[in-house]
Structure 1
Amino acid sequence: MRKWTKQDYKSMPWKNGGGSTTELAVFPEGASLDQFVWRISTALVSSDGAFSHFARIDRTLAILSGEGMTLHADNDGIAAGAAAPLRVTLTRDSVPYSFSGELPIRAELLDGAVWDLNLMTRRDVCTHYMQRLEAGEHHVVAQDAQQVLLYCAQGSAVLNRDVSLQEADLVLLEEDHERVGVRLVVQASEECLLYLMRISFLNHAGT
Structure 2
Amino acid sequence: MWLLPAASRRESRWKNGGGRTFEVASDPPGSTPDGFNWRVSIAEIAAPGPFSSFVGVDRTLTLVRGGPLTLWFGEDERLLTSPCDQVIFSGDQLVVASLESSAWVVNVMSRRGSHQHQVRMAKVGEGLRPAAEEIIVLISLGERLRFGEASLGRFDAALLMGADAAHIEQVGEGDGLLISIGSTDASETLKRFLPPQ
Hey, what does 1:200 align to over in structure 2? Answer: 182
Gaps of 5+ in 2: 188-197
Gaps of 5+ in 1: 75-84, 177-181
Counterpart of 1:188 (choices 163, 166, 170) is 170
* 8 Å contact kept, 1:96–1:131: no
* Distance in structure 2 (CA, Å) of the matches to 1:99 and 1:192: 27
* Distance in structure 1 (CA, Å) of the matches to 2:172 and 2:24: 25
CA RMSD of superposed structures (Å): 2.2
* Distance in structure 2 (CA, Å) of the matches to 1:190 and 1:10: 27
* 8 Å contact kept, 1:60–1:99: yes
% identical equivalent positions: 27
Q: Secondary structure, in 3 states, of the residue corresponding to 1:154?
A: coil
* Distance in structure 2 (CA, Å) of the matches to 1:122 and 1:15: 23
Hey, what does 1:169 align to over in structure 2? Answer: 156
Hey, what does 1:81 align to over in structure 2? Answer: none
Counterpart of 2:119 (choices 121, 130, 133) is 130
CA displacement at 1:48 relative to structure 2: 1.2
* Distance in structure 1 (CA, Å) of the matches to 2:70 and 2:58: 19
* 8 Å contact kept, 1:62–1:96: yes
* Distance in structure 2 (CA, Å) of the matches to 1:38 and 1:143: 17
Larger radius of gyration, structure 1 or 2? Answer: 1
The code of the aligned residue for 2:152 comes to L
Q: Secondary structure, in 3 states, of the residue corresponding to 2:141?
A: strand
CA displacement at 1:190 relative to structure 2: 4.3
The code of the aligned residue for 2:154 comes to E
TM-score (norm 2): 0.84
1:116 is the counterpart of 2:105: yes
The code of the aligned residue for 1:168 comes to F
Hey, what does 2:190 align to over in structure 1? Answer: none
Number of residue equivalences: 187
The code of the aligned residue for 2:140 comes to C
TM-score (norm 1): 0.80
1:49 is the counterpart of 2:49: yes
CA spacing shift, 1:87–1:132, aligned 2, 3 Å? same
The code of the aligned residue for 1:125 comes to S
CA displacement at 1:99 relative to structure 2: 0.8
* 8 Å contact kept, 2:18–2:46: no
The code of the aligned residue for 1:196 comes to L
CA spacing shift, 1:94–1:162, aligned 2, 3 Å? closer
Hey, what does 2:67 align to over in structure 1? Answer: 67
Q: Secondary structure, in 3 states, of the residue corresponding to 2:82?
A: coil
Counterpart of 1:157 (choices 138, 145, 153) is 145
* 8 Å contact kept, 1:147–1:200: yes
* Distance in structure 2 (CA, Å) of the matches to 1:123 and 1:148: 18
* 8 Å contact kept, 1:9–1:25: no
CA displacement at 1:96 relative to structure 2: 2.8
